[in-house]
Structure 1
Amino acid sequence: MRNALLVALLALVGYLPVGAQNPIIRDVFTADPAPLVYHDTLFLYTGHDTASVKETNYKMPDWRIYSTTDLEHWKDYGTRLSPRIFAWATGDAYAAQCVYHKGKFYWFVSTFHKKDDRSQGGAAIGVAVSDRPTGPFRDAIGKALIVNEMTKDKPHAWDDIDPTVFIDDDKQAYLYWGNLSCRWVKLKDNLTELAGPITVLNIKNYIEGPWVYKRKKLYYLVYASAGTKPEMIEYCTAPSATGPWTYRGIIQGNVPNSFTTHPGIVDYKGKSYFFYHNGALPTGGNYRRSICVDYLTYNPDGTIKPIVQTSQGVAPVK
């Protein structure tokens, strides 16, 4: 409780109105940030909220891409992928992440599956591929990688969302995902086939939005938590990509004007950055969210310091 109060206080103190750069994208509503560093450029893959002010559910027709080399000026590539590119898909463009592997870019996405001979519907995970970080992207395998029938530990139909892919130092790739249940599976080297059984993790307060990465010798699993409503961000650490995972606590409190938040973490030009979304723009809200970025810092033992949410954002880099 004390940790939660500290995080909430830091968020309120840090959110100042003067000199605002957060949210970083202001002409459209964006959500579910997924940063990727390729060469000297930071690419940001996002969802796209288009619900009206009066609507009470998500309306997310596509995914967008932005890039920067200084964390101040962002190049807008517009819509670069939508569920329409997947013949098996129907529904909205939920959280996604793009990773680079052996000369290609693989964009793992979550959407919904049509009723057919492979699935009776529900959330599913697909993979798009491109030779360039900004596309064009195509369906990598012509079918969903994960369908609802493959995961039965939760009864609801939207449990297979929010994929994140981590590629370890030995080049073994892992896929993590899930709503109300965190799951992982090894991927084959082509990133389009499963290389083992699906494992369900017992993660404290987990609800959705996992993000997995490694720093020095420690592995991090960061996620949106269900300990309170609205969501906060909590995390675990482990000595390997498969665990065992040790719960470490809350690092981000509630965000302004949105009951969801979603982590995206990257190192770039000597600093660590924490991307997330809130509803802080004018007319923003739960279904009209906007991506922000603030600093991520560590204690000497590798644990993460509480995120200070600010409207100033981060300083430009050369």
Structure 2
Amino acid sequence: MGKTPDQIEAIRPLRDGVIADIDVAEQMIKHFIQKVHGKRRFPRWPEIVICVPSGSTSVERRAIRDAASNAGASQVWLIEEPMAAAIGADMPVTEPVGSMVVDIGGGTTEVAVLSLRGLAYTTSVRVGGDKMDEAISSYVRRNHNLLIGEATAERIKKQVGIAKPPPNGGDGLSVHIKGRDLVNGVPKEITINQRQIAEALSEPVGTIVEGVRIALENTAPELAADIVDQGIVLTGGGALLQGLDEVLRDETGLPVTVADDPLTCVAIGTGRALEEEVFRGVLLTA
């Protein structure tokens, strides 16, 4: 977390969309169950739906299922993240129409073409908000000899993050950041602007664009024709990166829109898949 003392260890049970520490993941799920049910005298054994990256392996999916079962779930369902995102964004996933969703999460970017409750094509790119934070940290360290933490990099991304340089050769907005000088080891403050941030984020943004391009190249002609009309929908926290929709629009020539509430699309879609019978067919058992 950047501010934890030596006697406290900060652990991320999930990394790149899959379990990194199964024991901690199990405790996290158990905490969520207790938070929902409160201090009931007779605990319930709930059904649980968990999102997984479309590119996750059977071993990774089994680890997720086992963690949830050990935490107290009576039934564990899995749903692929792009499907959950599309349902949450009210895309026509049950209709015989091709549509494309790009879900940019913390660990992965999921690019998928959907039709008739299924994924006609999907690819998972291990680039997301976390990699953007790392790119900003690396840029600041490389160009300003300043070491910053994850929280600072994320704040920079949220405040002045941008996917392409500001127009008319300007520098755009700027932000003051503080960290440790790598030359003399003392605290230091610098100012960084959006033109610099666009340069820092060029690699992760380029990787996302390439993932979308590959998906389009591998889409069946009839579905591709539908996407020309339907366009591409962006979901996930990364969809909020300023100018990302414009970059994708310029690179693909297709209409690109950001979902109404991109941060919650996956969560909403996951809940709807469990509650609404029409979406039950998209749930996986392993």
Which one has the largest radius of gyration? 2
Please identify which structure carries the higher helix content: 2
TM range (shorter): under 0.3
Give the TM-score, by structure 1 length. Answer: 0.26
Give the TM-score, by structure 2 length. Answer: 0.28
